[in-house]
Amino acid sequence: MQLFDTHAHIGLINEDPIEQLIIVQEAKQSGVKHIVSICNNLHDFFQVYQNLSSAPHVLHSIGVSPSEVQNPGKDWELKIEEGTKLDRVVAIGEIGLDYYRKFGDRDSQIELFVRQLELAARLDFPVIIHNREAGADVFDILSEKLPPKGGILHCYSENWEYAKKALDLNLFISFAGNVTYRNARNLQETAKHMPIDRMLIESESPFMIPAFYRGKRNKPSYLHATAEFLAELRGLSLEELNEQLYRNSLTVFGLSE
CATH pick for 3-205+219-253 out of 3.20.20.140, 3.90.920.10, 3.20.10.10, 3.40.50.150: 3.20.20.140
Residue 7 marked ligand-binding: yes
Which secondary structure element, helix H or strand E, spans residue 49, and what is its range? helix 42-51
**Residue 58 near residue 25, CB atoms below 8 Å:** no
154 is an annotated ligand-binding site residue? yes
pLDDT in tens, 100-124: 987 889 999 999 999 999 999 999 9
193 labeled binding residue = no
Does the annotation place 60 within a ligand binding site?
no
Query: What pLDDT is stored for residue 1 in this prediction?
Result: 73
pLDDT at 257: 77
Q: What's the pLDDT score for residue 210?
A: 98
Q: What is the pLDDT of residue 72?
A: 95
Alpha-carbon distance of 17 to 243, in angstroms, equals 31
Residues 114, 116, 121, 127, CA torsion sign: negative
What H or E segment, with its residue span, contains residue 78?
Answer: helix 76-83
Instruction: Please count the CA atoms within 13 angstroms of the CA of 32 that sit on its side-chain side.
Output: 32
pLDDT at 103: 87
The confidence score (pLDDT) of residue 44 equals: 97
Which residues of the chain have a pLDDT value below 50?
none
What residues does each domain of the chain span?
3-205+219-253
224 marked as binding residue: no
Give the side-chain half-sphere CA count within 13 A for 55.
28
Distances 168 to 74, 161, 242 between C-alpha atoms, Å: 36, 12, 24
Instruction: Provide the 10 A C-beta neighbour count for residue 71.
Output: 11
CA–CA gap between residue 102 and residue 120 (Å, rounded): 24
| The model scores a pTM over 0.95 | yes
